[in-house]
Structure 1
């Protein structure tokens, strides 16, 4: 490369300088393409290629073996992020570039489309064994057809990506199914060819045409995919078969009538033996004759269809004949086996001897089965009882164990038990005897304790009889739990325990006797209650009944009835039925009264509900509700349960009325509170404004008045109104003070500006100084500003007479004398003013303060040449007198 005096860095002969120039990323694409294509240094080429953005150039560079990898990678990076660009150039791309896109493209859609263009099985396998998106792996798996590779991929993805594993498994199954179908086709093809060639070589031409037709139909479904050799083999065999058929047709004309006669005789035999099993001995001769009479060469199918069942019948008859000869000497089991070999043809009648023999065998087998079942059940029952006996011995339940032992002995007497059960029973009997001895040893001291306990009960008279009876029962139960008394010592203890128990129960017996008498007395009292209620039910005047008294009588009767509840058990149902009958009679009388009163209360409920449903004023609804409550109390008796339900409804409607009243009161209170809060907020805001340093304006006062008047005040809130009027007065005072202060400030500012104008007019300051000092923080009134600006601009004309007039006016307001030389002018002004007030009706109504302010404004807006020292002195003296 030739380098001139003005050579660029990327053209420098030093490769490192060229590399730095490329790394600076400032070169144009044309330069980068030139370097990437032809630079002698590999690192320069690689760095330049990594910055090239043209996929077409990169595609060409990818064919260069020296920079193939870097160019391919850069090409994949660019296309991998631009789907639209990829769609334009994706045709005829080599697979190595597609592989790069599949593995390096940024967009999953580009990877997917690139993978869809790859057909090489090895490349697809490589992609499946490298990390990538699941969609890409699934697509590659769908396009992979090599069985060996599919098996490897399936093994690899079993525990990684179930979707890929499922696709691969489906492909493998499809390949296996296709292989099986091919193998099945080849097998069928081979079988068909072998069958037709065998048929062509066969000497038996019976049914040849039918069999050939079947093979032709089968070959029609196979020939579309068979080879030419297979087709030639089939055609040759088919030709030979057709020749045989043609020859057989020529040989026809057999004696059909003879065949028909044989078939008729066979049908007659079949019908005969289907109806009855007689003359079976002659069947063999008949079959032999039919076989000899059948014409040769005739189709045997009709013959055998009738002959074979009859031949089978003859064979089974021969078997039965052999069995019947040995019937008396055969054991039942032997006979059963022999009869099992006898398979009488279906449709033919069986001989009566065979039927009887089968029934006898079935009955014998049934008895044997019953005997076996009964034996097994007995063994099972004994085993269960032995298990129960073993558990009872283990748990120490002697009484239960004795019962089980007796039951087992009885079972052994009913059937021959196996020796193993007898041995186990003997072993358990030994353990049971040991348990008896041990329990006698253990339980006798406990029996002694129970006797002592019973003795204490017998001698302790402080225990209540009911409690003593319960304690006696507990001791007796404990004695029973100890089991039977099998030895002499236990028998002596039992006699002692029984005597002590009888002695201890004597006071209990007396107590229970007294209780019996009390129950009899209670029974008598209950009868009296029933009698009195029956008398009341019969004699009371129910037309003028005191229903509250009736209810009280019923309630009192129930209380007394419950008081005398302890009566003899045998009399309970009868007396209770009598009490229920008389109560039912009284309740029936009450029922109509209850209904009338319930109707009245229901009407009150509806009336109360009407107060909530119609638009009734709250006050009126509340008063009416109280009236209805009083009426409710005046209604007579009602059923307690129904009254409770009605009262709940009435109370609900009452609550609605009173809730509406409470809601109105709460709403009124809320409005009052809101009004008070809003008023107080206005007053507080007004007071805060007055106390602050902020200037007050007339709009502020008007705004607070508007807010205050917008809030509806109660008549009893005069104190609030008075407080607001006080604040208004304070605001007016402050507003007046503010106005006065503002005027003084404006006059002072006007004096300052007038002095600036004086100095400018006499030449002491220039215009720039005047402008620089003109601005001020005090805002003048618009009229003041306009007039002083006219002076500043030099628009005001000098008028000495006007100046003297202004000075005289201020002196008159101050109440001081003007100099003698101004007396005539003063007199003229006063005459002019009086003339204006009396003759023209223009009476002066402006305050002294406002008049003095107007004079001052006019004075200070006069040019300096209009004024002299004497007038200034006079004007200042008048200002001092007025204090302005």
Structure 2
């Protein structure tokens, strides 16, 4: 067809004239497929009016959105804008337009929707997809809906954008006001941020400077103040600032930690110093109590001296150990020196008495005149109870002195003169004055001829005493004035604690009394007494409270003594020395805690407590000795256990039982306990070491069995039996595996057992097949004999006289018997029965070869299976035995005709060949 005719018969919407195409659009139906295709083509027309009219036929904006991605033109955008904004009839519902808006990414369309949308929700949804601040400012300034303007203005965040809104948003005063408010708030925030940054920088510099300072009392408070100020700032620090803060904080915390560590160490040192002071006081009190108790005894024995020296040595060692670390105070050092001197004086006196004991006994027995000489050499202290020998000598000496009319003890006078001189050297005026008066009186009673140089010596000492009295008076005057002023000031002091006032008062009274009568006047003494009485009156309530506390302490100490006495009176035979030691130590702590007590009860109660402690220590030592003996018995049992012939596990359990008994016994004496424990632990370690060695030996043997079992498994895993004679090799391996049992427990052993059982099962199956194949091979050797018998049977069935078939050489006994039975059956047998037996044997061999049987042979199969079960007493016989029995029955079954045999022998050949080839 020529071009003319094509143009003549073409549709009008394809006309060359745009006006024709425009007019043809009205005749197209968008619901028809061909017309819709034409309209879609016209949306791409070259004429804009045609495109506009064609697009006006489409009312689905989703279709137009798809076209917008492939061919964009102003008419398409205009039609899409009309449909999305809802400005034309036939526009989709609002919900559909909102759903389409979620997929719309075209900025121009979104801006037009915000400006011209027919619904506030539609405009807000379109506005939410716009991020350009310029567009947001334009909508906040020019949009026709106030809510849209406000929403757009809320999203303007830059300072320049807020400034433009404040200048240009003349249409909406609310937008202008909010823009100005937000602008001011941003400026305030910026200023605040800048101020906080400056503050943060200042804090950083202060913290870094503080971290470089040494510790001072306010160091921690200053650091915590800087940290609180840093944390109170609301802005976020930069990484560099945070790093600087953490480094400075770490240095400050290290300074504080170092100081805390040093302070803790100092506190510990102070505590240790206080503990050492308390320990020293306890040591001194113990020595003083020991000396006092010794002096209050009636007589002095060797046991008392040994106990005193033991305490002196023990306390001396503890004192030296404490002094190596903490020097003692002067007053406690003086008390300790005096206590040691008293102990030493007693010890020296005892040594002198021991040295002169033999001479004194001789004097008592033979020469009473030598008693004085011995007593003078002993020089026994007058305040110390005598030994029994001294007591006897003194009684004899006193009895002889009673007979003399004018006793003269010049040695005692000389000793007292020396004592007076010693007191003057120490400056004890009051004691020296009293002793001087006594010596003066005693010397005056002596005859002039007996005084000798004693009187001149006493005069010299009297002159020294007068000089000391004058000097004390000269020094004591200002001192008394000072003491009076101090005690009167103390009487007026109402702010100091009562305990401190009482301590200061007693100190002043002691210092006043120490002055004696030096520079003493009635007026000064009265003033001192009046001030002291005022202090007593002011502290009356405190004294009552103190006395009540002392009474309570006394009651507590008495109750403690009663409890300890009850414990000592009824001791537990199985008491643990450690518990008794804890009771002893706790009792000592409580005794120190319940202090002070009334003075009149302190000494006797202290002596009572000292006796109780001695008895308690005796009980502890006795129990420790008993425990030591019991532990020696346990050591003997452990040694016997080492030599006993028993399993190591039983020996170990016995050793554990001995250890339990050891722990239940408690501790022996301190030095003995360590020695016994080392011996006992060494024995137990040897027992446990023997057990570990036996365990290791068992483990090595078990490992060796595992390795042997693994080697056996590996060897037989690669071994395959080649003949039935190899069954002995397999059985020998099974016996070897059984000899390796029991294997150690574990997954490896279980895996070995399962693998070995699988190997043995597979090899036995292989041997069974080999045995069966060997039985099948006998068929080939038996076949000529069977053919000979069949030929003889066939001749016999034709009534021909035949001789018995000759017996081949080397035939087994069972087949020999079958051969004999076959010759006999030829003469007397029934061929029908023989044919039936032969058919049944065919089926039986087929079953052994796992070959199918014919349908007509199914009754025979059932008969064979029942017979097999009956012969095996409910169990099927072994295949090789059954096959040997089949061969035997084949040989003894007759007579058989040659045609019947020919029909069966081929089947037998095939079945036996299957059985023989199965093992290949």
Q: TM-score range by the shorter chain?
A: under 0.3
State which structure, 1 or 2, has the greater radius of gyration over its C-alpha atoms. Answer: 1
TM-score, scaled to structure 2: 0.25
TM-score calculated relative to the size of structure 1 = 0.26
